[in-house]
Amino acid sequence: MPRIRRLPEHEIQKIAAGEVVERPSNVVKELVENAVDAFAKQITVYLEDGGRELIRVVDNGHGMSHEDARLSFEHHTTSKIYGVNDLSSLDTFGFRGEALSSISAVSNTVIVTKDNNSTTGIKLDIQGSVLLQESLVPCPTGTDITITKLFYNIPARKKFLKSRETELRQIQQLLQALSLIQRDIHFKLVHNDKTILNCPVTPTLDSRITQLWDYELARTMLPFKVVDEDKKFVIEGALSHHQYARYDRNLLFFFVNYRWIKNHALARALLKGYQNVLPPARFPAAVISVHIDPTLIDVNIHPRKEEVEFLHPRLVEQLLQNTTKETLQNYLSAHINKSAILLEPAQMTPAPLQKARPSTFDITTTIIGDDPFNPADILMPFAAQKTAEQPHSAYTSAPTIPKPETPEKSSVTQSITPQQQTTQQERTYNIIGQYKTTYILLEQVDGLFIVDQHAAHERILYELFSNRFADIPRVKLLFPHIITLNTQELGVIEPHLSYFAQYGITIEVFGFNQLVVLETPVHFKDHSIEDLVRQTISWIVESSTLPEEQMKTAVTEKLRAQMACKAAVKAGDVLTLQHMQQLLDDLQKTENRLTCPHGRPTGWLLDIHDLEKKFKRKA
C-alpha cells in the first residue's frame, strides 16, 4: 500500500482556508476589504463575543447579481483580475478569489446581496462550502454577509481562538487602520449591540485621528508629505511629537497603496527617525502611507496579504527615516521660539534679574554660525553635529556646573567670557527658585517654565562629552584609582581602553589583573570610575557580535550617557541661585536641549493662558 495518499477535496479546502482565516479578525478584514472594493460608502461591522459567535458586515457598495453571488463563494472566483499580469496594475484589495470560499468552507455563511440591475436581492445560506438554501429577498443595493459557527468543522482551530478581548482588540485595530486610510467611507463597529467605533466620512487625516484617538494627541500630530527624488513614490502621514511616548507599538500604522501592512524595516526606519528624541523602549504614534508605482512592489507574498515587498526597500526606508527626523526637527525649531527658555525679542519684558536688552538685538544673529542655539542642530546625529570649531569658544568652560557642595572651589566656572556676558543680556526669565530641590522654576512672559535640574544638566554634559571632548578640562588624580578585575574581565576591557580615553579618562593596565585610573574630566573627578568600567565591560560583552566599528559606537554612546548621568547634579541637590543661573545659561547653549539623553524633557512650560483659565480669570 502506498504511504502517500491524496486528501479528499473538503479536507484540502479546510487546510487552505486555515491560511487565509486564522481568526475572526482575518474574516473581518476580508469582508470589509471586499466592501471597499465594491465602492461602499458606508460599512458597518457587527460582532458578538469578539467575533467568535457572529461576524456581520453590511455595506452599500455595488452588490452582486444573482449569478455572481452564486459564483462568489466558489474557489478562485474573482471579478478583480484576469491573470497574474494584472497584479502590476492592481487597484483593489482582493485578487485571489479565495476569501469567500475559504470563509464559507469553515463556517455558516449567509450572503444577502443585490446590485443596481436587479429588482430583488438574493440570499444564499452556505455551510462548509455547501449551498444549503437559496431564496429571493427584498433588500437595498449592497451586500450583507453574516458568519456564524466559525471553525465549527476545524475543532483544533476553534480551540486556539484567543479570548474575546484579544479578538476584539485585533478587530478594533483593523478598523482603526482602515478608517485612517479610507476616509471617504463611514465605518462603524458594533460589539454586542454597543457601538464602539463610529467614523463618518471626513476629508483629512487630521480629523480622522481626532475621531479615533484622544483629542490631545490628535491636536499635536505633525503632518508631513515627501516625494522621492525620482518621483517614484510619495510618503505622507502624521507623526506624534517629541513629548508623546507610549509603551507599545499599537499606534504605529503603515500603509502601502492604501493597504495596511506590517513591515519591520519600515518600523525600524521610523523609530530611527525618533532616535535621540524618545527614550529606549518607548514608541510614538504614527500614520505612514506610501504611494508607489505598483510595478515596484509585490503584494502577493503573504497568504493574508499583510505584507508587501518593495523592489528597492532601502530607498523607502531611508526617505522615511530622514523625513521623520526633519519633521520633528522643524517642529522643534518652531516650538523652541515659542516655549523654550529663549523668547522672541518682541515678547520680552524687562525683569529685575535681567540686564537691559541691547536695542540692536536681532534674533537672526543669535542663531547663525557657531552659536549653539541654532535650532537646525537639534536632532542632528551626534557625529554630524558641529564640533568645537573655535577652541577659544566660551563653551570650553561654560557648561561646567559646579557641584553644589564645592561651588567656589571650581576656578573653571568663575571666568566670565564674552559669550557668557551676551547670554546674560539675552536672559528672558526670572529665577523664582528651586522646588523640591529637583526643579528650577522660572518666570517667563508666556508662563511658568519648569526645568528638571538633573535632566538638564545630564543633557549639557552629554553634549559636552560628545562634541567638545578635546576641550574638556581634565584633572590628574593625586591618588590614582586602582581597579582590580579578574582575567576574563581584563581580557574584555583591555583592547578597548581607548573608549575611555576618548572622553578624557586615562586608564592603563597595572600589574597582571589591575587597572589604574590616572586622569578624568573635571566634572567626573569625585565619581567612582570603577562602576563605569564594570558597566562598560558588560556593554562590550553584550555587543560582542557586532562589527568593531558598530560596537565602538554602541558602547561609547552608552558610556557617554552614563558619564553625563553620574556627573550631573541630582534631584535633591540644593542649588544656589548662582548654580541655577549657570545651569540655565549652559542649557541655552546646548544642542538637543529639550530632552535629556534618555529622552525625558528637560523643561516644561505651564502656559499662562492655561493658568489663567484654571483661575477663571479668562475664558
CB of 170 to Mg ion, least distance (A): 18
Provide the CA 100 distance to its chain's centre, in angstroms. Answer: 36
At which residue does the C-alpha cell 479610507 appear? 182
Residue in 177, 451, 226, 422 with CA at minimum distance from that of residue 340: 451
Cross-strand pairs, 439: 435, 452
For residue 595, the partner it binds in Mg ion, ligand ADP, none, with Cβ less than 5 to 8 A by kind, is: none
CB of 72 to ligand ADP, least distance (A): 3
Q: Does 106 bind ligand ADP (CB under 6 A)?
A: no
79 binds, among ligand ADP, Mg ion, none (CB under 5 to 8 A by kind): ligand ADP
Stretch that binds Mg ion, among 99-107, 120-128, 247-255, 354-362 (CB under 5 A): 99-107
Amino acid of residue 271: L
Range list of H helices, 21-149: 24-37, 66-72, 99-105
Which stretch in 29-37, 187-195, 485-493, 556-564 sits in contact with ligand ADP by CB under 6 A? 29-37
Single residue of 34, 321, 420, 592 touching ligand ADP by CB under 6 A: 34
- Shortest CB 92 distance to Mg ion, Å: 8
Binding partner at 152 among ligand ADP, Mg ion, none, C-beta below 5 to 8 Å by kind: none
Residue type, 440: I
Contact of residue 59 among Mg ion, ligand ADP, none (CB under 5-8 Å per partner type): ligand ADP
- CA distance linking residue 606 with residue 616, whole number of Å: 16
Does 99 help bind Mg ion (rule: CB under 5 A)?
yes
The residue among 162, 27, 168 whose CA lies nearest residue 104 is 27
Neighbours of 506 (CB within 10 A): 16
Residue 614 contacts by C-beta under 8 Å, 6 or more apart in sequence?
none
Contact yes or no for 517/528 (Cβ under 8 A)? no
Q: Are 446 and 340 in contact (CB under 8 A)?
A: no
The span of 33-41, 298-306, 331-339, 610-618 binding Mg ion (CB under 5 A) equals: 33-41
Choose, by CB under 6 A, the member of 27, 58, 64, 451 that binds ligand ADP. Answer: 64
Alpha helices (runs of H) in 95-239, residue ranges in sequence order:
99-105, 155-159, 164-181, 205-212, 215-220
Q: Which of 51, 61, 121, 284 binds ligand ADP (CB under 6 A)?
A: 61
Partner whose footprint covers residue 72, from ligand ADP, Mg ion, none (CB < 5 to 8 Å by kind):
ligand ADP
Q: How far is the CB of 363 from ligand ADP (least distance, A)?
A: 58
Under the criterion CB under 5 A, does residue 34 sit at the interface with Mg ion? yes
Question: Minimal CA–CA distance to 224: which of 286, 312, 292?
Answer: 286
Query: With binding defined as CB under 6 A, does residue 246 bind ligand ADP?
Result: no
For Mg ion, the binding residue among 94, 121, 372, 399 (CB under 5 A) is: 94
Answer yes or no whether residue 98 interacts with ligand ADP by CB under 6 A. Answer: yes
Nearer to Mg ion by Cβ, of 36 and 450: the residue is 36
Beta pairing partners, 259: 256
The burial class, CB within 10 Å (0-12 / 13-18 / 19+), for 435 is exposed
Does 95 participate in binding ligand ADP (rule CB under 6 A)?
A: yes
Residue of 142, 138, 163 lying closest to 31 (CA atoms): 142
Least distance to Mg ion, CB of residue 30, Å: 5
Give residue number: closest CB to ligand ADP.
Answer: 94
Q: Does 70 bind ligand ADP (CB under 6 A)?
A: no
Q: Which residues bind Mg ion (CB under 5 A)?
A: 34, 94, 99
Q: Which residues bind ligand ADP (CB under 6 A)?
A: 30, 34-35, 38, 59, 61-64, 72, 77-80, 94-101, 143
